[in-house]
Amino acid sequence: MIKQPDAKNLRRETSPAEMTRAALVQAALKLFGRQGFDGTSTREIAAEAQANIGSIAYHFGGKEGLRTAAADFIVETIQTVAGPALGNAQAPAPVGPEAAQAQLFAALERMVGFVVASPQAGEIVQFILRELSHPTAALDRIYDGVFEPSHRRLCQLWEQATGEPAESEAARLTVFTLIGQVIYFRIGREAVMRRMGWPDIGAAEAAKVVAVTSGNLKAILAVRKGAKTKGPRP
């Protein structure tokens, strides 16, 4: 039996006020990422969202509150995307190194699918890069909600896959390299398309990126396995 959506909740989710709020968040995400917080006026945000300028104060208390809401939207979006592949720190450990490795590959593929191929990711990454260059309380929310827990979870999977302690310097740096190679395909998108002769980066191109990044992960795992087999040097 298919449960029908609650009419009251449906009305609340699609109310004009909620639609205006969502439009303002999307406009802020786009303009703050493109022009910077100081370089964007509330009037520009309202125009982009096709909303009354007074609605910014009404919904968010002002421009700073809107930046916080944009950061929270990023956290919620990335948690939704990453959650199925990563699980969380309290999730049961994969059964054996092979299962952990399979989860790492699945997480990498999902990361590429969103960061590289999703149009929405462009505005999110631009916003985050602005925050990384000039950190504010918005970055704290993104770090606490996305960066730290996702990185920590990947490190845990790395330990389960390789036996290398999750919080070791080597494990943490390795996980950063896995993430970094994916992020480059977004921040260097224009250069990649020109050099590869791609008119765009869609599902087909993303699959090729997955193949290469997965190959890199396989190579790193093989090196770690070899080092572990050989043991420490006398």
pLDDT averaged over consecutive 10-residue blocks of the chain (234 residues)?
A: 38 76 96 96 97 96 97 95 72 77 94 92 94 96 96 95 96 96 95 97 96 97 77 49
Beta-carbon neighbour count of residue 131 at 10 Å?
Answer: 24
Beta-strand runs (E) in the chain? none
pLDDT for 4 equals 34
CB 97 within 8 A of CB 160: yes
Q: What is the C-alpha separation between 147 and 74, in angstroms, rounded? A: 11
Query: 206-231: buried (b, 16+ CB within 10 Å) or exposed (e) per residue?
Result: beebbeebeeebeeebeebeeeeeee
pLDDT for 86 equals 78
pLDDT for 82 equals 83
Beta-carbon neighbour count of residue 196 at 10 Å?
Answer: 12
Collapse the DSSP code of 15 into the 3-class scheme (helix H, G, I; strand E, B; otherwise coil) and give the result.
coil
Q: What is the C-alpha separation between 22 and 187, in angstroms, rounded? A: 25
pLDDT for 217 equals 97
Q: What is the C-alpha separation between 81 and 15, in angstroms, rounded? A: 25
Closest CA to 131 of 173, 82, 91, 72: 72
Q: What is the C-alpha separation between 100 and 184, in angstroms, rounded? A: 25
